Structure 1
């Protein structure tokens, strides 16, 4: 593992108690950063912070609740200092179903977590980054946001929205030393697969030319560079992690 220098950085990682978010937190701590995990799952949050050690704290927060996110940002900075880095990893997939039969409440929940949650976190933390003229933001989108997956219209649409948000915010902040980028991973073997049928999971695997799912450590490696000071020029960009699936 290459050690990327993240000394002195304070990262907020949403959905950080498990899956991609936890792997990214582990990689950042190994690179010298301190991290604050934001997650709704209290027991998992406690376990994750204990595993990461003294460089990690946890804050229980629902990213769909703007007031809760605003309060979490204030609590995080009071306990750990200015937030220099954000990874928006909190997300849900929802069930696989055709659009004309998709449950309306479930559609709204998926968009609320994946897209509105990302907006809430950026909205709460960007003002401080602008005031200090420094920040690194990585939003976790998906290959589904670029290509669309059948029977996953809500997830695909929400992740396409994350890509659009990233490009817009990156351009807004381009005159600052703030980089805003996103990654578009193919399916990774995380708990998000529990929401999908075996048939849909196999369909997803069959679309990846490498013939396997993404490993969470591979995503963490890419994000570690994206949140480093070395990433001083690239912003409003989309980084592919699809194992060859993406056609653009």
Structure 2
């Protein structure tokens, strides 16, 4: 194993955005520790899968122990692992379901940061990249748990940036908008055209920014929350009577 390569840990790497991030890292010369609760194959000798539950600090510690033992440390952490299935009315969501979202999306990310800081000691540079969401400040009904977890992740980014100012670690967030991870060809023309960029996003749109932020020379980008949503959050959308007449 070439220990001179940069080492990246990516959570939530079994599919979707996380899998594309892991693959793009490997394609660009990184050694990747791909973390997920669901086992998966990558077919790339530079991607090493580690099974872990982000709600378990013990599991998280084992991932970083593996990385340090096998590769000598970690340069980049991408906190991408998250769940969003409990989009329920506040009257219907259970305390356990709400806690599960917060524990996975926010607690898990924080504990990964805590372990990363230790694993990065002695390295020339470090990057923490938190995958948040535009739902941290714009949302639909019944997404309280997910929105709160992603809002917490943006706030965590802001504070860690300052707390780690005496280290070579930068901390940034990326807030994706609509990123379609499968069946892209099934989207309608209207779904694409509502975006100022003229299309719905794909995982590669996020992965390219992750790769950019991970570069050692990009150390002056710190504490940023970069929105990648095709311009959707800049649109002003109001109900008008014409909406009814067009039905």
Fold agreement, TM-score > 0.5: yes
Could you tell me the TM-score, scaled by structure 1's length? 0.83
5+ residue gaps in structure 1?
1-6, 192-203
Q: Which residue does the alignment assign to 1:215?
A: 202
Among 130, 135, 149, the alignment partner of 2:126 is 135
After the TM superposition, which residues 98-247 of structure 1 pair with which residues of structure 2 at under 5 Å, given as runs? Answer: 98-132=89-123, 134-190=125-181, 208-210=195-197, 212-247=199-234
Structure with the larger helix share = 1
Alignment partner of 2:232: what SS? coil
- CA separation in 2, counterparts of 1:56 and 1:81? 16
- CA separation in 1, counterparts of 2:193 and 2:136? 18
- CA separation in 1, counterparts of 2:118 and 2:5? 20
Instruction: Check conservation: 1:17, 1:37, Cα contact below 8 A.
Output: yes
Q: Structure 1 stretch 167-176 or stretch 95-104: which is displaced more?
A: 95-104
- CA separation in 2, counterparts of 1:37 and 1:170? 24
Matched, 1:38 2:35: yes
Instruction: Check conservation: 2:75, 2:120, Cα contact below 8 A.
Output: yes
Q: Which residue does the alignment assign to 1:63?
A: 54
Show CA shifts across 1:213-243 (max 9, x none): 3200111111100011121111111001111
Q: Which residue does the alignment assign to 2:239?
A: none
Among 55, 59, 82, the alignment partner of 1:91 is 82
5+ residue gaps in structure 2?
183-190, 236-247
Report the number of matched residues.
Answer: 224
CA distance 1:175–1:239, shift in 2 (3 Å)? same
Alignment partner of 1:115: what SS? helix
Larger radius of gyration: 2
Q: Which residue does the alignment assign to 2:245?
A: none
**RMSD of the TM alignment (CA)?**
2.1
- CA separation in 2, counterparts of 1:55 and 1:110? 31
- CA separation in 2, counterparts of 1:207 and 1:153? 25
Show CA shifts across 1:142-197 (max 9, x none): 00012233211100000000000011101111232211101000122237xxxxxx
